[in-house]
Amino acid sequence: MRNIRQPGAPVAERIQWVEARGRAFTFTLEAGVPLLEAARRGFAAEGFAGGVLKFGSGALGPFAYVMPALSKTSENAAFYSETYRPGGVIRTKLGSMTLGTRDGAPFFHCHGLWTEADGRSSGGHMLPDETIVAEPFVVDAFGIDGAMFTAEPDPETNFRLFGPVASANTGARTTSRAFALRLRPNQDFAGCLEQFCRAQGIAHAKIRGGVGSTIGARFTHGGVTEPFATELAVTAGTIAPGPSGALEAALDIALIDYTGGIAEGRLVRGDNPVLMTMELVLEVLG
């Protein structure tokens, strides 16, 4: 399996996880408000301090983002591009966000694909402090209670990364058992989730959210992304018994690589290792 050497030593615990409770809901992002604040308000209105969300068609502007890039030093295995600030309103195609905290304040990690005002298709990592909601649009959210994604230094990758930590219950209404997860580098995305569900006695789960990176990508439709550094959003995902009865993860994703290549589809099980991180929430269905 493909492997990228990270600057720090691997941490023994390859899946960082916290069990929590959660609930799915939808809300409308307010126009004229920073995307971070609009997301925070939507979760807060339902009693949640954080969680994950996904969206399709939307409008953002002003807008700022970075793309994956090669690292110019040995301090990181890959890095970010310069900041891009396309003019006008960008129209999102899809996106996935993790809403948590950094330095004690709300913060998000959000990847997506979009079309810029000049018609150019692009994607990458949206910047929380420079992205404004241009027009109201609806998002599908999943709030979590009892866990919070918090940005902390990660010695293995030498980045500050979101990972789940236990948090005080807020008393929000919840409907489902859930697990907040962060998958560490150089382990297969699907296999990692299948192993986790077996260990926890989970027979059926739905992926909520999903933001991270893989070492290139191999798709079931035959497509291949060779450039190793990607920014990825999970568009749909389940872990459930396959034809043999063994658990199988079905992971539909969209990504942009460091050359600007865009790809979408279902990942091949067993051949898509995590590059830096993968954050998501598993909603337990059975």
Q: What is the pLDDT of residue 206?
A: 98
Q: What is the pLDDT of residue 166?
A: 98
pLDDT band per the 50, 70, 90 thresholds, residue 50: very high
21-143 shares its CATH topology with 176-284: yes
Question: Residue 211's closest CA among 162, 165, 176?
Answer: 162
Tokens of 10: 């691997």
- CATH class of segment(s) 21-143: alpha beta
pLDDT in tens, 209-259: 999 999 999 999 999 999 999 999 999 999 999 999 999 999 999 999 999
Query: What residue spans define the domains of the chain?
Result: 21-143, 176-284
pLDDT band per the 50, 70, 90 thresholds, residue 21: very high
Q: What is the pLDDT of residue 200?
A: 98
Whether domain 176-284 has CATH 1.25.40.10: no
The percent of residues above 90 in pLDDT, for the chain, comes to 99
DSSP of the chain: ------SSPPPS-SEEEEEEEEEEEEEEEPTTSBHHHHHHHHHHTTT-S-EEEEE-SEEE-S--EE-EE--SSTT-SSEE---B--SS-EEEEEEEEEEEEETTEEEEEEEEEEE-TTS-EEEEEE-GGG-BEEE-EEEEEEEEESEEEEEEEETTTTEEEEEEEE---------EEEEEEEEPSSSBHHHHHHHHHHHHT-S-EEEEEEEEEESSEEBTTS-EE-SS-EEEEEEEEEEEE-TTSSEEEEEEEEEEETTS-EEEEEBPTTS-BEEEEEEEEEEE--
Q: What is the pLDDT of residue 57?
A: 98
CB atoms within 10 A of CB 121: 12
Using a CB cutoff of 8 Å and minimum separation of 24, what contacts does 81-84 make? 81/124, 81/258, 83/127, 83/130, 84/122, 84/124
